[in-house]
Amino acid sequence: MAIKMRVLCTPGKKKLVSITQMIKQEFQLNINAADVIPPAYSCDKERLVVLCVTCKGSLKDDIRLFISELNKTRTANVALMIDGTPDGDAYVRSLLASAGTNVCEKTLYVNGGNIFNSKITDQEKTDILAWVNECIASI
């Protein structure tokens, strides 16, 4: 399935980076499609951007600024994978709403682990890939 998609995560947690790489491999995305926030290459006319965001407390300024600038010229749709609470999800959604981007209805909550844990279980892999496929189908 060919889709113009980027998968971005907040830096610092190896498990979130592993998840972005797994999604990139599964959907056979371009070489620069998986990155940290803010990415090395800017988003430009992406069909879908999957954000894996750690929302425990406040966001760093560079991450908050990047999310608040994801407008329709950068991406048509955003899907949220949150390592945190529903309050963090609501905050990120409010930033994206201010930018005018369409946000997929269903948010996936993940356990980002700690700085040493990068292992994704088989059940997590199944759940994540099913969620991404659901997000793609909804756009």
Mean pLDDT of the chain: 91
* Tens-place pLDDT, residues 71-128: 999 999 999 999 988 999 999 999 999 999 999 999 999 988 776 777 899 999 999 9
**According to the model, what pLDDT value does residue 112 have?**
82
**According to the model, what pLDDT value does residue 1 have?**
54
Please, which contacts does 26-33 make with residues 24 or more away whose CB atoms are closer than 8 Å? 26/129, 26/132, 27/1, 27/3, 27/132, 29/5, 33/5, 33/6, 33/7
pLDDT band for position 64 (50/70/90)?
Answer: very high
Q: What is the CATH number of the domain that holds 54?
A: 3.40.50.360
- What domain range is 106 assigned to? 5-138
Number of domains the chain contains: 1
